[in-house]
Amino acid sequence: MKIKNIALYNCLTLIISSLYIPVNAGEMEESITVKNPTTANSLQDSQNAQLLLSDSESYSETAQTQDILDENNTTIEYTLTPLQLTPFDPMTVETANTLPQGAFYTTYGANIFSTGSEGAGTGLQVYNGSIDYGINKDLQIGLALSFFDDTLSTRFNGRQTDFGFFSLAPRIKYKFIDKDNYDVAVIGSLEWLKVTSENGLFNGGDRSSQDNTLAGTIQVPFTYSFDDVYQWHVVGGLSVFPDTVNNGGDFYGTFFNIGTGISFKFAEQFGFFADVNVPLGPGGNSVNTRGDIGKSVVWSAGLNYLHSPAVGVDLSITNRLGSTPATRLLAFPPDGGNVGVGLNVRYTPDIFANYAPSFGDTPMTPLTNRDKQLLFDGFILTTPNTIRQGAFSLDTGLSPNYNFQLGYGLSNNAQLEFTGQQIADTDEPIGNSFKLGAATKLNFLNQANGDPFSFGIRGAFGESSDAGDGVGSFSAEAAFTYSANDNIALFFNPKAGLFGDNRILGAGLGINFQPFPGLQFIGEVTPMVSNDPTVWAAGARYMPPKTNFGIGVYGSNAAGSTNISNVIRQKDNNVSVGFNVMWLLGNN
């Protein structure tokens, strides 16, 4: 079931991200709204002149826009994104904030809990995703998704226990009181809930069984805005779950709740949130190791970072189970005592909204042929560079093991990726079944744009397509690139890989040499700080000048080219010869 859920999650996230369609614009004229095209040929920034933040900056509170003069004294009007208008919403309490008319708001991420003494794999991951749309300033609709499928960290009724849930939740929010400094809204959801359980946990017997049912919640939040950067939220509500599932196993039933939280922006790009929700009964929101339903306080706290006007990242801790309106009120079993770490991305697609693509005050230059080459990862190392807003990249490996890496430009310095990899045989207990995964890359420095070097970070997760072959994995890395001249680029790529009980830490080094336009010779090696075997790759690529297509051939002893596979050596130190094909895709 897990791989189907991962595939659905990746598909939904790709659909959400692909909603952005760049709009072609003519030449810039003074005092008009400007939106330049993103094309495969030019791949230029969607603003020829990046924002020059200065005293000429002005904000229109009624239109929720900001007018900025570019370097040519041309007025460019950008719409403020929903992420800029208010502090980020907390995680477990609803707020009365609503989206502007026509705005989209999406999230995707995971909460990772400890495996404890009984769980297996890297961690217990609860995956989450959502999309919301503002019908008007007081009414919005949306769809939220949460799912989990793993062995719990604690025994239930003395046995190791597998538990799974899947929740798909259409939701609606209506703001019926809209004042200068406070708002009141009502939120409702009706959720399809699939529960898989055994050993007396949500189960009338010991054998694993699955039940499909409905749940729902109605919440009434009050949000008080002290100013543009600080909000206080109070919410009360009612949640309805079945009393029993899976042949008479006790379930949560119906309970009232009350909660409160704060959200605060202490700088333009940084914020903080904390919240708590208390169940009041008569049902409950938690379960103990005997399968008895009880009540536990659910909470979360975290930091927000707005990387670009349209892309934000949360790092949080929580004890909640899901992220749909009803499941976010439930405590992670047993009893909400396991605290998880959450990583969540918030993204507001620019669908005819004219959002600024970045915060930068330096104009983004058109991409040269060499810049396009360095947008692609190496054979086993990662580039810090990201594709431009609204563009796509595709890197596929045709031999010896099929793989793909599809990238989408969330903004000029943030990239979403979907990956698939057939891992070669290794000596590690990761399995060689096909791995599906997703990644997010954030770029902070760009040498092509005047910085001394390029720097970015990337985080990725992967799941095995066969539950009996391999485990889930996570990888995190920092990527540095320094272009000494138009022909030589040097790479430094510290990276960490986690799978099962294994922890791999390495520091990749690489060089990309272009002897004449289009042809690249690439050499890469990753010695391991964790005393694991060194991996390497070497080969050549050719990307004809003034094109967006390239091919490559290489040899490597790594098990694969992306995510966890590029830090694991093949079995018996085998060396494989691989071929890959690369495209940059945009809208003309």
Q: Which residues pair with 388 in a beta bridge?
A: none
CA distances from 172 to 97, 191, 200, 249 (A): 12, 12, 35, 31
Which H or E element spans position 152?
Answer: none
- The CATH code that applies to domain 369-585 is 2.40.160.40
Among residues 344, 323, 322, 301, the alpha carbon closest in space to that of 110 is found at 344
- Per-residue pLDDT at 120: 60
- Per-residue pLDDT at 559: 87
Rounded CA separation 183/238 (Å): 20
- Per-residue pLDDT at 222: 98
Q: Contact at 8 Å (CB) between 163 and 155? A: no
Query: Which ranges in the chain are annotated with CATH 2.40.160.40?
Result: 82-347, 369-585
Q: Which structure tokens are listed for 164?
A: 């799974």
Q: Which residues pair with 124 in a beta bridge?
A: 113
What is the length of the chain?
588
Architecture of domain 82-347: Beta Barrel (2.40)
Tell me, yes or no, if the pTM score tops 0.75: yes
One pLDDT digit (tens) per residue for the chain, 588 residues: 454 455 445 444 444 444 443 333 333 232 223 333 333 344 444 333 333 333 333 333 344 776 554 545 566 778 899 999 999 999 999 999 999 999 999 999 999 998 776 656 667 889 999 999 999 999 999 999 999 988 888 899 989 999 999 999 999 999 999 999 999 999 999 999 999 999 999 998 888 899 999 999 999 999 999 988 999 999 999 999 999 999 899 999 999 999 999 999 999 899 999 999 999 989 999 999 999 999 999 999 999 999 999 999 999 999 999 999 999 999 999 999 899 999 999 999 988 888 888 886 666 778 899 999 999 999 999 999 999 988 999 999 876 678 899 999 999 999 999 998 888 888 787 777 788 889 999 999 999 888 999 999 999 988 776 665 556 788 999 999 999 999 999 999 999 988 877 889 999 999 999 999 999 999 999 999 998 899 999 999 999 998 999 999 999 999 888 888 888 898 888 898 989 999 998 753
- Per-residue pLDDT at 175: 97
